[in-house]
Amino acid sequence: MPAYNEGAVVESAVAAVRASAERAGWRLRIIVVDDGSTDPQSVAVLDEIGRADDVELVRQPNKGRYAARSNGLSRVETDHVLLLDARVRIEPESLGRIRKAIETRGVEVWNFDVLPAVTTPDAAFWTGITKVWWRDYFRDRREVAFGAEDFDRYPKGTGAFFAPTRLLLSASRDFSSHFADAALASDDTRLLREVAARAPIHLSPEVMCHHTAKTGMRQWARQCLYRGTTFVDGYLGDRGRARGLLAGAVVVGVAGLALTVRRPRTVAGLCATGCVAAGGVTRWSGGTQREAASVGVLSPAFGVLFGAGILRGLRMAATPREH
């Protein structure tokens, strides 16, 4: 469990995984990696958590979530491991259901179905856009299994992911980021794509968790930029294409800016139409009314910030690495 200035939510995450493991009849060892927290409350909370017998608290300089997760994974001694974010609370029955699936069906790789713990407009935007992106699942929540061929059709992430330790270690060895700065590496898509190439990933509404998103528009804007950057690392197949894509993106951006200056009313009309369409697609994809409204209203700002993140990611991918 990586943690960086997460405050008291870490306590809830640890308590929830303890309760679920107890119901499953599994002995638990929790590895919490403090990724250089500077907030006094967060440091104090981690100090307290680290005193428990079933917790190993590891501290490192701030290197980003991927480095923190890799540090923790390297210390795992059990046959199976649960990757968990500090803001995620798993449901009490989830680990028991996974254990039953392992023992009766031999199904060992699980991505948790994530439900929102907060419903503010900025948080509702992320759950809404997630349902649009992976509508094949969210329009009809049911147990599915997917591999490398249909990997992009289903939601997945390392925020709550269960697998054999040997499988994750093997995938981690073959994982490499397009970025020299590991702090911005995509530890979700590229790593789990390696996992899916080795074993099917299972997803079910019976294996659930709740995510407590950070709220506030400043934090939302940072997330847009960050996700645009990691999107490049997660989905850019050939790093050699980065320069060409970056040049094309810059041209499109300049053309869009010029059109905005010359035809502001036209651009405003297109934005309004796009907002309505985005909200409609969100509802069609299984989103709630609140999620549809949030996606519709925030889509223009998201487009600008996410696009800026993509430009940053392409620039980083195009920059030659030092050897």
Q: pLDDT, tens digit, for every residue of 133-171?
A: 999 999 999 999 999 999 989 999 999 999 999 999 999
The four Cα atoms 277, 298, 155, 216 give a dihedral, to 10 degrees, of -160
Q: What is the mean pLDDT of residues 29-53?
A: 95
Kindly indicate the confidence band of residue 277, based on its pLDDT and cuts at 50, 70 and 90: very high
- For tokens 């210390």, the residue is 75
Residue 322 DSSP class:
P
**SS3 of 29-68:** CEEEEEECCCCHHHHHHHHHHCCCCCEEEEEECCCCHHHH
Query: Would you say residue 186 lies in a domain?
Result: no
Q: What pLDDT, on a 0 to 100 scale, did the predictor assign at position 96?
A: 97
Mean pLDDT is highest, among 111-125, 184-198, 232-246, for 111-125
| 264-284 vs 121-133: helix crossing angle, rounded to 10 | 70
Distance, CA of 198 to CA of 172 (rounded, Å) = 12
Other Cβ atoms closer than 10 A to 237: 7
In a domain, 149, yes or no: no
Domains: count for the chain: 1
What pLDDT is recorded for position 286? Answer: 92
Half-sphere exposure (CA, 13 Å, Cβ side) for 234?
A: 22
Of all helices (H) and strands (E), which one includes residue 206?
Answer: strand 201-211
For residue 299, tell me if it sits in a domain.
yes
**Paired residues of 83 in beta bridges:** 161
Residue 95 lies in a domain: no
What are 284's two structure tokens?
């069609």
In a domain, 131, yes or no: no
Position 242 confidence tier, pLDDT thresholds 50, 70, 90: low
Q: Identify the domain containing residue 224 by its residue range.
A: 217-318
**In a domain? residue 309:** yes
What angle do the packed helices 189-196 and 165-174 form, to 10 degrees?
Answer: 120
Burial track 52-69 (b if 16+ CB lie within 10 A, e otherwise) = eeebebbeeeebbbbbbb
Does 249 reside within a domain? yes
**Total residue length of the chain:** 323
CB distance 109 to 167 below 8 Å: yes
* Rg of the chain in Å (alpha carbons): 20
pTM of the prediction?
0.90
**Between β-strands 201-211 and 110-116, what pairing exists: parallel, antiparallel or unpaired?**
parallel
Query: Looking at the domain assignment, is residue 288 inside a domain?
Result: yes
Tokens of 17: 């995984």
Residue 74: pLDDT above 60?
A: yes
The number of beta carbons lying within 10 Å of the beta carbon of residue 225 is 19
pLDDT in tens, 108-118: 999 999 999 98
Structure tokens at 217: 């528009």
């190993």: which residue's tokens? 56
Burial 11-39 (b: 16+ CB within 10 A, else e): ebbbebbebbbebbeeebebbbbbbebee
